[in-house]
Amino acid sequence: MQRKTAERYFNELMMSPRVIQFLDNLGFKQLFIKRDNQGNVISPKLEVVNKTSGALVAGEAYGSHKICLAKWILADDQQTKAVIRHELAHLLHKFSGMGGNSHGQEYNSILKMISPNRWRKDRHWYPTVSIEKARSKVHRVPMVNGTSMILKNRASLTKSRRYVKNVKCNNLVKAKSLSK
Ligand SMILES: [Zn+2]
């Protein structure tokens, strides 16, 4: 997926009726989506970076204003969309002030609102051949007989919660994901 397509999906999602309703219920929609004088959205923003903070981190959320996607996740359209939904949920969770852990019950309720049918899957990203190929150009990807190890052990890896990492940094909750 091209960066522009990812941005378009992110903007569409952010302005979807469900999200607008959620923000209306909080009572401060205008404060979440910020626009310049021409009406262009200036925040929240989506950025694509060559490397996130980890070889298995597909996306990161910064406060309620920015998400970063690892370039390699863009190798798969469905996974890119899943990571965008996951990270948008982090922005809204932070913005809502609902509290709880970064992947806790409150967060999950927001992910469920964004992605009613796929929210369980959206808690993680899942490796594919094209993702692993793209990822191996940026990171050292352990291989077994020519197949990336996490792709080979996908079931066991996604069952365990090894992907989940959260760090606090400068008082800013930086939710790291795989899309976790
Ligand atoms: Zn996350």
User: Cα separations (Å) of 16 from 27, 61, 77, 88?
Assistant: 16, 19, 19, 12
Q: Are residues 100 and 149 in the same domain?
A: no
35 CA distance to ligand 1 centroid (A)?
Answer: 26
Q: Are residues 115 and 167 in the same domain?
A: no
Question: What pLDDT sits at residue 144?
Answer: 81
Which domain range does residue 175 map to?
142-179
pLDDT range class, residue 162, cuts 50, 70, 90? very low
- In this predicted structure, the answer to whether residue 63 has a pLDDT above a threshold of 70 is yes
Residue written as token pair 């150009």: 137
What is the C-alpha to C-alpha distance for residues 129 and 15, in angstroms, rounded to an integer? 32
Q: Are residues 19 and 56 in the same domain?
A: yes
- Please say whether the beta carbons of 143 and 149 come within 8 A: yes
E-assigned strands of 19-155?
Answer: 34-35, 41-43, 45-49, 59-62, 66-70, 143-144, 147-148
165 CA distance to ligand 1 centroid (A)?
Answer: 8
Residue 10 in domain: yes
pLDDT range class, residue 172, cuts 50, 70, 90? very low
Q: Are residues 78 and 156 in the same domain?
A: no
168 CA distance to ligand 1 centroid (A)?
Answer: 13
What pairs with residue 65 in β-bridges? none
Residue 73 in domain: yes
Higher pLDDT, 159 or 173: 159
The total of structural domains in the chain comes to 2
What is the C-alpha to C-alpha distance for residues 133 and 31, in angstroms, rounded to an integer? 40
Tell me, what CATH number does 47's domain have?
3.30.2010.10
Q: Are residues 109 and 147 in the same domain?
A: no
163 CA distance to ligand 1 centroid (A)?
Answer: 10
Can you say whether the dihedral through the CA atoms of 83, 11, 53, 93 is positive or negative? negative
Q: Are residues 162 and 79 in the same domain?
A: no
The average pLDDT across 111-121 equals: 96
Pairing mode, strands 59-62 and 172-177: antiparallel
73 CA distance to ligand 1 centroid (A)?
Answer: 15
E-assigned strands of 50-164?
Answer: 59-62, 66-70, 143-144, 147-148
Q: Are residues 119 and 158 in the same domain?
A: no
Residue 47 in domain: yes
What is the C-alpha to C-alpha distance for residues 139 and 58, in angstroms, rounded to an integer? 12
Q: Are residues 110 and 155 in the same domain?
A: no
Residue 132 in domain: no
20 CA distance to ligand 1 centroid (A)?
Answer: 21
58 CA distance to ligand 1 centroid (A)?
Answer: 10
pLDDT range class, residue 141, cuts 50, 70, 90? confident
37 CA distance to ligand 1 centroid (A)?
Answer: 32
Higher pLDDT, 110 or 141: 110
108 CA distance to ligand 1 centroid (A)?
Answer: 10
93 CA distance to ligand 1 centroid (A)?
Answer: 11
176 CA distance to ligand 1 centroid (A)?
Answer: 5
Q: Are residues 117 and 29 in the same domain?
A: yes
Q: What is the pLDDT of residues 67-102, one digit of tens each?
A: 999 999 999 999 999 999 999 999 999 999 999 999
Q: Are residues 112 and 150 in the same domain?
A: no
Q: Are residues 31 and 111 in the same domain?
A: yes
